[in-house]
Structure 1
Amino acid sequence: MADVLIRHLGQVDYLPTWQAMQDFTARRDAATTDEIWLLQHPPVYTLGQAGKPEHLLDDIDIPLVRIDRGGQITYHGPGQVVAYLLVDLKRRGFGVRELVSRMEQAVIDLLAEHDVRAERRADAPGVYVAGAKIAALGLRIKHGCSYHGLALNADMDLTPFSHINPCGYPAMAVTQTRDTGIAATPAELAETLAAHLTRHITL
């Protein structure tokens, strides 16, 4: 089966990146190599297709973009590792729930390398450390192929999370790798995350 191509995009605006994911998915065919895009975004809130606007608690100077992934509201900003997974699930032979589980496990494995114990929750997709969310997940599946992906809080200003109900959960605590004692930079974590994601996608 084809390998996974890793692309490092740096810090990129949200809207053109979302459009690029849609375009990639629309034009891919059975031979197209799966890709993982690693990047950061300037400050932005995104609200999933069934998202409720009341989960934005305060109107602050951060744009809100309504998008086509599942899930509620989340925040992206500098110092967060974002990985978008453009994967042909039909070809890989597993569905969206399995992809979510593999993405969560990749983050759990990454944190375990740094002696940080993390876990998933059955009622709220993502990865948690001591009850606080450290990684959020959201996907869109079209013609059997995924786009969007996950965001791992690494070394960022967490304040914007206090102005939303993260992923639709009031008062949900959030954390980041820096606050768990991990010294690795976002760039280093992105490299390691890509390796774990590739391994779990190609199992």
Structure 2
Amino acid sequence: MQPDVRRLGRVDYLPVFEAMKAFTGSRNAQKTDEIGLRPNENARDQLWICEHNPVYTQGLAGKSDHILNPGDIPVVQTDRGGQVTYHGPGQVVAYPLIDLKRAGYYVKEYVYRIEESVIKTLAHFGVTGHRVTGSPGIYVRMDDPASHAALSGPLDPTDPFRGLGKIAALGIKVSRHCTYHGVAFNVAMDLEPFTRINPCGYAGLKTTDLSTIGVSASWQEVADVLGQKLSTYLAP
């Protein structure tokens, strides 16, 4: 069964973060029945899709020295994995609220399915997405975004991303088999705020969006495609 999709529009980050925690907490609530205590499994999976006002979010293990110059953009400490990232207008943010035990797959596959959804969304717009081992998220070739050539050769320690730009960031939290947080896909943003941080903890990592690599697509078009791909790939 595919998750119920909720479209939230443009919203501040903090209320959505609190709502995700509350939803996940409620579906993890214990109830007593004839066979004792067990998790409440009645809540259907959901997929929340939104756009945020400017905000930096810091992961649980995030280091403050990766936040270089936040200026007037607020910094919110979260309980997801990963380091600091930026959310702002022109970015599609998707929060899958999935019961992995019920879905029948584990965290590693869950991450793979989210990344595959992004790759298929990029392909819809004529762009080839790439994974980089050890660095969750999806990357594109800045000089040739449509190239299907596989990444090859040893990593250059002076340029571990080899001319790539990060177009989608991933940060998740799993509580008693239930997921929250999710993925942010850059469509047509002001990318300057990314220069005020070390994105995802990597100094000098280039961040890009569809507009910068020559793809003209509206926020809504990308949100619709990404939502459809996530609904399909995250289904049990």
Q: Pick the TM interval, shorter chain.
A: over 0.9
> RMSD value over aligned CA atoms?
0.9
Of 208, 214, 225, the residue aligned with 1:192 is 225
Inter-partner Cα distance in structure 1 for 2:134 and 2:57:
21
Q: Helix, strand or coil for the counterpart of 1:192?
A: helix
Amino acid in the other structure paired with 2:131: R
Q: Summarize deviations over 1:120-169 as a string: whole Å, max 9, x none.
A: 11110000001100000000000110000000011110000000000000
Q: Which residue of 2 aligns with 1:39?
A: 50
User: For residues 165 and 30 of structure 1, what CA distance do their matches in structure 2 show?
Assistant: 39
Structure 1 equivalent of residue 116 of structure 2: 105
| Cα offset, 1:101, TM superposition | 0.7
Task: Give how far 1:49 is off.
Answer: 0.6
Give the secondary structure class of the aligned counterpart of 2:212: helix
Residue 142 of structure 1 corresponds to 175
Sequence identity (%):
48
Name 1:72's counterpart in structure 2.
83
Query: Where in structure 2 are there 5+ consecutive unaligned residues?
Result: 28-39, 142-163
- Partner deviation per Cα, 1:14-51 (whole Å, 9 max, x = no partner): 11110000000011231211111010111000000110
Kept in 2, the 8 Å contact 1:3–1:33? The answer is: no
CA distance in 1, matches of 2:23, 2:213: 36
How many residues get paired?
202
Aligned to 1:48: 59
Q: State the alpha-carbon separation in 2 of the partners of residues 70 and 13 from structure 1.
A: 20
Aligned to 1:62: 73
C-alpha deviation, 1:95, in angstroms? 1.4
Corresponding residue for residue 25 of structure 2: 26
Structure 1 gap segments, 5+ residues each: none
Residue in 2 aligned with 1:10? 9
C-alpha contact (below 8 Å) 2:2/2:234 kept by paired residues: no
Whole-angstrom distance in 1 between the partners of 2:213 and 2:69: 28
Code of the aligned partner of 2:8 = L
- Residue type of the alignment partner of 2:18: Q
- Structure 1 residues 65 and 113, CA gap change in structure 2 (3 angstroms): same
| Cα distance in 2 for residues equivalent to 1:198 and 1:103 | 10
Please identify which structure carries the higher helix content. 1
Taking structure 1 as the reference length, the TM-score comes to: 0.97
Structure 1 stretches of 4+ moved >6 Å: none
2:202 to 166, 169, 187: 169
